[in-house]
Amino acid sequence: MLPFLGIIAAVLGLITIIAVIELKFEVIKGWFREKSTLMNRSDSSKVAFTLKEGIKKGKYRVVQGIFDKESNKLLDGVRYEAERLDNEIGELHSKDKIVIYE
């Protein structure tokens, strides 16, 4: 898992940053739906994820993306900066910094 996190960290400068008051899981699901063409159910090399980076300057930082394990490349991603996270995101990330969606 560490190479995966390192690659994500290396490309964070290349993704869009969106500032919101409260990040809702509906936003996360909507982004994945919009990017569904990047995911192929028969291709297990691509994974969808969210990574909760923690709090910086009083704001939560959550990175969302699609990663190709074969090429070790982030195919697309976005970083949210939010004052609050809704309960569903909070629960998903309560034990792990990164959540993989399959």
Strands 16-23 and 73-85: parallel
Per-residue pLDDT, averaged over 89-102, amounts to 91
pLDDT band at 13 (very low <50, low <70, confident <90, very high): low
Residue partners of 12: CB distance under 8 A and separation at least 6 = 63, 79
Whole domain around residue 95: which residue ranges? 2-101
Amino acid at 88: E
- The span from the CA of 91 to the CA of 33, in Å, is 21
Q: pLDDT for 23-82, tens place per residue?
A: 999 999 999 999 988 887 667 888 999 999 877 777 899 999 998 888 888 888 998 989
Is residue 50 a contact partner of residue 102, using CB atoms and an 8 Å limit?
no
Q: What does the block give as tokens for 86?
A: 């809704």
Dist. CA 52–CA 41, nearest whole Å? 25
**pLDDT, position 29:** 95
Count of domains observed in the chain = 1
